[in-house]
Structure 1
Amino acid sequence: MTARAAMPSPALLTPATSSRSHEAALAAIGAVGLAAALIAVGSHHEAWFDEAQAWLLARDSTLTELLRERLHYEGSPGLWHAVLWLASHAGYPFAALWLISSAIAVSSAFLILRAAPFPVWLRFGIIGSYFFAYQYSVVARSYALDLLLVPLAACLFPQRATRPLPYAIVLGLLANTNTHSFLVAGTLCAETLLLGLRAGTWRQPAFLSSMVVFALCALSAILQAWPAPDVSFGAAGIHFDRADRLLSEAFVGGVPFGTLDVPVLVQRLATLLILLPSLVLFHRAGTFILVGALILSLMVFSAVQHANLWHSGILFLVWIFGLWISWPTLNAGSRTLRRLVLASVAGLVLLQDVQTAAAWIREVREPYSSGREAAALVRAARERDSAARVAAIGFKAFSIQPWLPRNVFANYVGGASNPAFYLWDRRQRFSPRVELVSFRAALAGGYDLIVLSTDLPPGLDLDAYRAAGSEKGYCVTANIPGHLIWKTDRVEDDGILLFQRCRSAHDADG
């Protein structure tokens, strides 16, 4: 799995030779440009449940509770949560959460523009790609840290044998970002260990100390993320189609066909064709086994654990990492290989940039989540009547909680003020699913306001809930739309219906 050290390459396929000040100015201009775009787009973003959940965990916990107890119910190590803990306890507003992830993306953009071995057009194409410029920046989740840490690891990769400690620190931080990044960090550390064993440098104090540093970081991540015995989510069965879909979505899904309902065979062939020149490059550079191990570990994990579309971005970052450490070898290849690699990389980056533009347009024009608007209506209702009792149906209804000072759901944890986050504990009575039986129970409970997530299970529609509400004298007083954005498409409904007792028969919505 050990990758050969790449030899210096001529300037043909690398950034044009220029002064340090020119390179710094170029990087600054690109970073400022991305920052301006993210501000323009991110100011329209409405945080959804995943963003809200991490914030609430940080806001409503001590740092010890967060790292020692809470994360066992999230299945994730807590570097991102620790960042949010510092922000929330310092008085940083939840409304500006997207600025944290965007700032990380801008820092990554500066690093790529300043240090990546690619030509200028490719460096700019990468920082404008979908995961860099939207999914991991505007949408604020732990994957934002990957945008910075993976390029940092690529930057330090050539010196991992001579200066192992900085590389080990970056890998240790990467291991504490999320479970997918833990696999990436572990694989990269294993490659470094093999390199040390083969070169005979593993006995050196610097090398040993770097391995100890990473081991401690990895152990910390495991202790934080190890699932609690009563956690309410677990393995989702082995489904290799999940891994296959994530690989396609990381690269070609969305733009070429304009829909997520593309035949699987077409996606596989398109992905293979566009990646084939890169795979040849990795083979020539001696990095094929390393990059292959990174991709394989992520795909196997996605097949045996629950995976969603946004996890595919880690695969995209691994591809960037592979290109970064392999690029100096490109000049040693044939002219045909150089042209194929450049053409495929240019085509893939162009597709990603188109996906970014499509997502930006949707973000500005359409509501991403209903949480903020629904929270305003709940707050207004409770200001009119401080004794008003509110019930929630579905875990996505918790997206309103960060906009309020405490838990407002009377049918969750007995109406206690804390926690306001959703605890994935199978012992609790609150069901995370939007079930008609749960809704009927809330109607029978006499609540003044019911917050219903519109992310319904298959086979049901909102008419069934409207009819059930009408039977008990409840009306829909607000229908707040929302849907998650994925490249050129909408995925996962994230709307909310607010039910209140009807003031008159004229108000009935059924």
Structure 2
Amino acid sequence: MTASIKASPVAAKPSPAGANQSQSQPRTLIYAAAVLYAALVAVTIVLHEPWADEAQAWLLGRDASLVDLWTKLLHYEGSPGLWQTLLHFLIKLDLPYSAYNFVSGSMGLAAAWLFLRYAPLPLWARLLVPFTYFIAYQYAVVARSYALLAPLLFGVAAVYTRAREKPIFVTTLLCLIAGVSVHGVILSACLWLAICGPSIWNERERSPFLTRPWLVAMAVYALVVVLFMLSAWPAHDVAFAEGRGLPNTTVERFEGVLQILFSQAFTGEWITSFVLVGLSIPFLLSGGGALFFLPFAAMFWLFSVVVYSKEWHYGILFLAWLFAVWISATRVKPTRQALVALAAAILVQGYWTVAAVSYDWQHAYSGSAEAVRYLKKTPVQDLYAVGYPTTALQPYFPANLYSDTNNGSRAAYWDWSKRNPANPENDPAAIFSARHRNTVLVGYRRDYEQAFWSHVMSMLGYHPVRHFEGGLFWRDRVLEPEAFDLYHRVPGEAVQSRAVSNVNLGGARSDQQVLAGFYQVEDNAWRWTAKRFSVVLRTPPFAAADGAHLVFRFYLPDAQLAKLGPITLTGDVDGYPLAASTFVKGGNFVYSAGIPREALAFDLVTVNLRFNKASRGLNGDPRELGAVASSIAIEAH
């Protein structure tokens, strides 16, 4: 017996068994499950500390106009802005940040109720699915745009058998799903395929289906999706776009991402996840859910390989599978194999829910709340921020907390462009191109980042003030830290460091003072720089009173100038600009520029230099190459 895909909502009608079950459903158990779900989510929300991604959406809704949001800022978020727009209006209605996660929690409750009330599945499945990890925690307690997907998706499932009769309602839901994220666009397109495709392809159904309401609905849907995609199209200088696209993909990446997608979405292990989904495929084929699920899984996989994916995206695949099971059950009775697969998913993800909730009750999901309490008790002036996690503190204050974020303006959301100096992933040393940084808050997501910044801060004369611990929890383990270290330094205070004023960049000790933009030493004499590069130098005695100048010795190959044309070198010392010099031919050069006395107030300073051009592929070298550097120094007058 061969199975075929049948998914037309016109032909889809609940089975008699499903109808009888719906009529005789024990409402007491359903209401009890809904109350238990609401209580579990509410208590966890009260104990949850929002992390940076949660804060970023809130800040965009609070500090950006809708015009700026939809025409500028979403290009740096890589997503349509339905969630931020919703928050914008809720904040206008005086919703406090302390109630923020109850917005996502209410979305989770709506999804849970729709599943409890309308899913044509056995009672045990309806009672337990709402407590699976993504519905009960990741897309409910954690306030992200993805919280909108489950209630919207289940809303479509609830009217799926009557979708043809409701073009306006169904199209509205599809448009809203597309407005959640780029993944929502894919989800929405595959839903449209499952709902409308069979009627369009079938000649007998095509003419009755293509009525004016549906033609208008399809035109509106297409226009809305195009507008959403245009709003989310990445800007040319977005900070997280490097290394993406088909030219950067490999067969191994396709294979690896496929395994990760299914393992993270279902059981945590790819073989059992494929077995679980495989058990349900015959049922989905006979019930029509495969017409939606298989194209979505393929497109979601391709997008994750070519563009982007993170752990919190993978649950969308699980929601899509639940939807496919739901709509298949409106046509045929679920098979034993499909129910076994569903039970296995519930069992594993129920454990994940218990683990995540237990962690959130006992530990800090983010160190931001503790850091906020400290800063409100001990205010600091000109607080400087390093790293995206520091965004998590911003919503607790009425305006921008940091001197470097958005140039110190009132807007507090994170700038995902390459122009943002506080993003250490762009240029770890660029953060020191600022004058007001006596107190620095470092937010980190990886343990090695903490070690790196501890070393840099110590070298620059900063003293650790306080540590604020936190950890993002994923399924049954801590995925990554979201912790913070607060540092302070006093002007004029002597720094216990071996740093010197004159660094031989070809020497072994130079590694102790280079921050970023330098390659390895070659021939024990020199090293290539990148386009931008930075070092830490000690201020010579009396330089603050007598003045000093920066001296940088380097070499530009003739081939470099022949390829790029004239090259200009500029820079700054702790944010105080240096004079520019332009070089029109190759050779050995000495760049010398006076340093403002104000820049020499500290025992150690950061020198940031940058060329306006750099080459790649010079003599077959794939690196970004600026100049061959031999030494750099601060020399007193």
Q: TM-score, normalised by structure 1?
A: 0.87
Q: Secondary structure at the match of 2:429?
A: helix
Pairwise CA distance, 1:308: 0.4
Mapped to 1, the partners of 2:22 and 2:452 lie a distance apart of 66
> What residue number does 1:16 align with?
21
> What residue number does 2:313 align with?
311
Mapped to 2, the partners of 1:286 and 1:148 lie a distance apart of 21
Flag the 1:270–1:322 CA change in 2: closer, same or farther, 3 A: same
CA deviations over 1:403-433 (Å, ceiling 9, x no partner): 111112212332222x211111223433253
2:471 to 480, 483, 496: 483
8 Å contact from structure 2 (residues 13, 161) kept in 1: no
Mapped to 2, the partners of 1:283 and 1:489 lie a distance apart of 35
8 Å contact from structure 1 (residues 434, 455) kept in 2: no
Q: Secondary structure at the match of 1:379?
A: helix
1:375 has 2:378 as partner: no
| Aligned pairs (5 A) from 1:27-106 | 27-106=30-109
Q: Secondary structure at the match of 1:410?
A: coil
Q: Secondary structure at the match of 2:47?
A: coil
| Aligned pairs (5 A) from 1:425-440 | 425-433=417-425, 437-438=429-430
* Larger Rg over CA atoms: 2
RMSD: 2.8
Mapped to 2, the partners of 1:209 and 1:367 lie a distance apart of 50
Flag the 1:461–1:211 CA change in 2: closer, same or farther, 3 A: closer
1:396 has 2:411 as partner: no
Mapped to 1, the partners of 2:92 and 2:51 lie a distance apart of 21
> What residue number does 2:576 align with?
none
Range that drifts further, 39-48 or 472-481? 472-481
Partner AA of 1:354 in structure 2:
Y
2:233 to 201, 226, 233: 226
> What residue number does 1:262 align with?
none
Pairwise CA distance, 1:461: 5.5
1:244 has 2:256 as partner: no
Q: Secondary structure at the match of 2:120?
A: coil
8 Å contact from structure 1 (residues 15, 120) kept in 2: no
| Aligned pairs (5 A) from 1:3-402 | 3-4=7-8, 5-11=11-17, 16-18=21-23, 23=27, 25-197=28-200, 198=202, 199-200=205-206, 201-234=208-241, 236=244, 237-238=248-249, 239-240=253-254, 241-253=256-268, 267-331=269-333, 338-382=335-379, 388-402=381-395
Mapped to 1, the partners of 2:292 and 2:453 lie a distance apart of 52
8 Å contact from structure 2 (residues 403, 436) kept in 1: no
Pairwise CA distance, 1:219: 2.7
8 Å contact from structure 2 (residues 161, 330) kept in 1: no
Flag the 1:115–1:373 CA change in 2: closer, same or farther, 3 A: same
Pairwise CA distance, 1:464: 4.3
1:424 to 403, 416, 436: 416
> What residue number does 1:258 align with?
none
Pairwise CA distance, 1:434: 8.7
Q: Secondary structure at the match of 1:71?
A: helix
CA deviations over 1:168-217 (Å, ceiling 9, x no partner): 11111111111101101012213333233221134311221221232233
Partner AA of 1:376 in structure 2:
R
Flag the 1:29–1:474 CA change in 2: closer, same or farther, 3 A: same
Mapped to 1, the partners of 2:131 and 2:195 lie a distance apart of 31
Pairwise CA distance, 1:9: 2.2
Pairwise CA distance, 1:435: 6.5
Mapped to 2, the partners of 1:410 and 1:359 lie a distance apart of 35
Flag the 1:116–1:471 CA change in 2: closer, same or farther, 3 A: same
Structure 2, unpaired ranges of 5+: 497-637
8 Å contact from structure 2 (residues 444, 484) kept in 1: yes
Partner AA of 2:476 in structure 1:
T
8 Å contact from structure 1 (residues 75, 227) kept in 2: yes
Pairwise CA distance, 1:7: 4.5
Pairwise CA distance, 1:14: 7.3
Q: Secondary structure at the match of 1:32?
A: helix
Partner AA of 1:94 in structure 2:
Y
Partner AA of 2:215 in structure 1:
L
8 Å contact from structure 2 (residues 383, 441) kept in 1: yes
Partner AA of 1:429 in structure 2:
P
8 Å contact from structure 1 (residues 2, 194) kept in 2: no
> What residue number does 1:453 align with?
443
8 Å contact from structure 2 (residues 283, 338) kept in 1: yes
Flag the 1:18–1:160 CA change in 2: closer, same or farther, 3 A: closer
Flag the 1:268–1:75 CA change in 2: closer, same or farther, 3 A: same
Mapped to 2, the partners of 1:354 and 1:57 lie a distance apart of 34
Range that drifts further, 306-315 or 27-36? 27-36
**Structure holding more strand per residue:** 2
Flag the 1:463–1:181 CA change in 2: closer, same or farther, 3 A: closer
Pairwise CA distance, 1:67: 2.2
Mapped to 2, the partners of 1:32 and 1:283 lie a distance apart of 35
Partner AA of 1:223 in structure 2:
L
Count of paired positions: 480
Mapped to 1, the partners of 2:209 and 2:140 lie a distance apart of 38
8 Å contact from structure 1 (residues 393, 433) kept in 2: no
Q: TM-score, normalised by structure 2?
A: 0.70
Pairwise CA distance, 1:48: 0.7
1:500 to 488, 505, 511: 488
Mapped to 2, the partners of 1:328 and 1:370 lie a distance apart of 46
Mapped to 1, the partners of 2:441 and 2:149 lie a distance apart of 34
CA deviations over 1:227-277 (Å, ceiling 9, x no partner): 223322226343322343022110011xxxxxxxxxxxxx33211211122
> What residue number does 2:551 align with?
none
* Higher RCO (CA < 8 A, seq sep 6+): 1
CA deviations over 1:441-472 (Å, ceiling 9, x no partner): 37x85623111013248xx3534433433343
Mapped to 1, the partners of 2:281 and 2:172 lie a distance apart of 28
Flag the 1:438–1:380 CA change in 2: closer, same or farther, 3 A: farther
Pairwise CA distance, 1:490: 0.5
Q: Secondary structure at the match of 1:160?
A: helix
- Give every structure 1 segment of 4 or more consecutive aligned residues whose post-TM-superposition deviation is greater than 6 Å: 502-505
Pairwise CA distance, 1:485: 0.7
Identity of aligned residues (%): 30
Flag the 1:228–1:278 CA change in 2: closer, same or farther, 3 A: same
CA deviations over 1:311-341 (Å, ceiling 9, x no partner): 111100000000001114443x8xxxx3222
Flag the 1:415–1:123 CA change in 2: closer, same or farther, 3 A: same
Q: Secondary structure at the match of 1:113?
A: helix
Q: Secondary structure at the match of 1:43?
A: helix
Structure 1, unpaired ranges of 5+: 254-266
Q: Secondary structure at the match of 1:40?
A: helix
Q: Secondary structure at the match of 1:450?
A: strand
Mapped to 1, the partners of 2:156 and 2:429 lie a distance apart of 50
